[in-house]
Amino acid sequence: MNAPLGRLAMNQATIPRWSTAQAIEGCARAGYGAIGLWRERLAPDGPGRLGARAHTAGVAISSLCRGGWFCAPDDASRRRRAADNRRAVDEAAEIGAAMLVLVCGPAATKDLAAGRREVADALAELAAYARPAGVPLAVEPMHPMYCGDRSVVVTLPQALALARSIPGGVGVVLDSYHLWWDPDLEAATAAATGAVLGVQLADWLAPPPHPLEGRGMLGDGTIELRRFLRLADATGYDGPVEVEIFNPAVWDADPEETLAVVARRFAEHVA
Amino acid sequence: MNAPLGRLAMNQATIPRWSTAQAIEGCARAGYGAIGLWRERLAPDGPGRLGARAHTAGVAISSLCRGGWFCAPDDASRRRRAADNRRAVDEAAEIGAAMLVLVCGPAATKDLAAGRREVADALAELAAYARPAGVPLAVEPMHPMYCGDRSVVVTLPQALALARSIPGGVGVVLDSYHLWWDPDLEAATAAATGAVLGVQLADWLAPPPHPLEGRGMLGDGTIELRRFLRLADATGYDGPVEVEIFNPAVWDADPEETLAVVARRFAEHVA
């Protein structure tokens, strides 16, 4: 990338006050080389026009968030989810996203092992659709506190085993917020060599203010972010590094200002 | 145990409206064979009188909560914490608790690895004091969401490695709320054979209503509690099973009623 800010990328979820078109232009103005987008924010322009707009602005689409939510209580809803995931692949292809991020869960019942098998089956099926479309699928190991309501994939070794159980086109995305606590993080990332499709950053606030909307601005929390990126890079990954912060205080701020703050904090705590 | 409710035990934190003396009597009346107590609730009677009272009532003290909080920013506070942990051992000995539960963290800085080394050193030192006193020390692997503000020990394999690095008198306590998400739970518990000092249960609510006070009544959440206890038992553990629920709705309830509800739920979802 030739962006002034180098590998630094913004995830749209950090600056929700802007429309997607505004976010793309804003990132370009601020010197960001890439942006991660969310499916529910693609209307009204649609993936085709947004992709063209980003291309013109010189901003890469580092990710499309998100597919997954594979498990279902019955066959009808399972088919609906599979169809929606194929649409997500189509959108990722059309917009030119570097990966489609997948939330792998939650389980439909208390049987966590069964939920994990269901995820593996649905992922293999989706990968067969995504491969010819040229869309890399990124399994996101999520923090274990989301095991009940979001993702049954909660560790990097587990995500990696799942991704590697499927032939081609499936990798993992490493998010500091989800993975920082792992006592075996160094070994886990070393084992992920060649399989990392993307990196996301947020800091961990202590104590956590909220299970879902408590992510911290870079530098405000407990994570050694510089070490985290070094471990991610040691896998051979050298692509964009998205900053994705779910936090009402960040959401309420002026997006222009947030882009500036993130760039400053990134230089100070990560790069 | 000859308690009418078998292995079912109550942790005092579930019924905070009662004084410790009331809680002991209440558990005896309800047929509970054991109770887990908290240090900050030992006054005004003190551990000696409370231990005698429990003995007379036929209620065992399954745990004393809690020591730990080992890491400190400087030597002076480190010495204060070590002294307080020795007092915790003395209290556990005096009251006749089956184990002293340890919260192993949080780290004093962002250097998580250094925090983990500091915990190991302080634990080894405390174990040398606890061993002649006959007080088993229980390392509690806590949910990874507490890694920033409570415990740098967040997985069972990590807790086990830590406990086994110290000669004698140190084991682990298995809490369903902290461990249920682990994709390798079966292997991890199998590896814990002989090292389990206690078991605690709470359910996981989805989505989690609060990072600290969102534990669920048995049966209200996502955990296969029966399977969890079976895995714990497969380690050779056959002692009390404490129910420990941090939840304002449970705290506000009549403790008498909570004892009855827990017994019913335990029979339905666990035993």
Query: What is the per-residue pLDDT across A148-174, written as a single tens digit (0 to 9) for each?
Result: 999 999 999 999 999 999 998 899 999
Q: Which residues of A fall within a CB distance of 8 Å from B182?
A: 144, 154-155
Q: Is B211's CB within 8 Å of A206's CB?
A: no
Residues A195-236 have pLDDT tens digits of 999 999 999 999 999 999 999 999 999 999 999 999 999 999
- Distance to chain A for B243, nearest Cα, Å: 19
- Give the global pTM: 0.97
Nearest CA distance, A44 vs chain B (angstrom): 31
State the smallest CA–CA distance between residue B246 and chain A in angstroms: 16
pLDDT value at residue B97: 98
Q: Which of B183, B204, B214 sits opposite A116 (nearest CB)?
A: B183
Mean pLDDT of B35-60: 98
List residues of B whose CB lies inside 8 A of any A CB. 106-107, 110-112, 116, 143-145, 147-149, 153-155, 158, 180-183, 204-212, 214, 221-224
Rounded mean pLDDT, B115-134: 98
Q: Which of A222, A226, A230, A270 to substitute to test the interface with B, most B CBs within 10 Å?
A: A222
**CA dist., res. B154 & res. B104, Å (int):** 9
Between CA A51 and CA A41 the distance in angstroms is 13
Closest CA of chain B from A161, distance in Å: 11
Residue B3: predicted pLDDT:
81
In chain A, what are the domains?
Answer: 8-238 (3.20.20.150)
Q: Distance (Å) from the C-alpha of residue B205 to the closest C-alpha of chain A? A: 7
Residue whose token pair is 């005698």: B52
Contact A29, A57 (CB under 8 A): no
A-side interface with B, Cβ within 8 Å?
A: 106-107, 110-112, 116, 143-145, 147-149, 153-155, 158, 180-183, 204-212, 214, 221-224
Q: Which of A116, A145, A223 sits opposite B208 (nearest CB)?
A: A145
Would you give the end-to-end CA distance of chain A in angstroms?
15
Query: What pLDDT score does B106 carry?
Result: 98
Identify the H or E element spanning A157.
helix A156-164
Contact B163, B130 (CB under 8 A): no
**Average confidence (pLDDT) over A134-144:** 98
Has residue A2 got a pLDDT over 70?
A: no
Identify which of B145, B183, B211 has the shortest CB distance to residue A158: B183
Question: CB distance A211–B145 less than 8 Å?
Answer: yes
Half-sphere exposure of B63 (CA within 13 A, CB side): 33
Do you find a cis peptide bond into A132, omega within 30 degrees of 0? no
pLDDT of residue A3: 81
Q: Is the ipTM of this complex over 0.90?
A: yes
Contacts of A154 in chain B (CB under 8 A): 181-183
Which residue in chain A has the smallest CA separation from B183? A158
For CA atoms A27, A29, A31, A33, the dihedral sign is positive
Residue A148 with chain B: CB contacts under 8 Å? 204-208, 221-222
DSSP track, A4-49? TTTTEEEEGGG-TTS-HHHHHHHHHHHT-SEEEEEGGG-TTTHHHH
pLDDT at B7 exceeding the cut of 60: yes
- Average confidence score pLDDT of chain B: 97
Which one of B181, B224, B246, B269 would you mutate to disrupt binding with A, by most A Cβ within 10 Å of its Cβ? Answer: B181
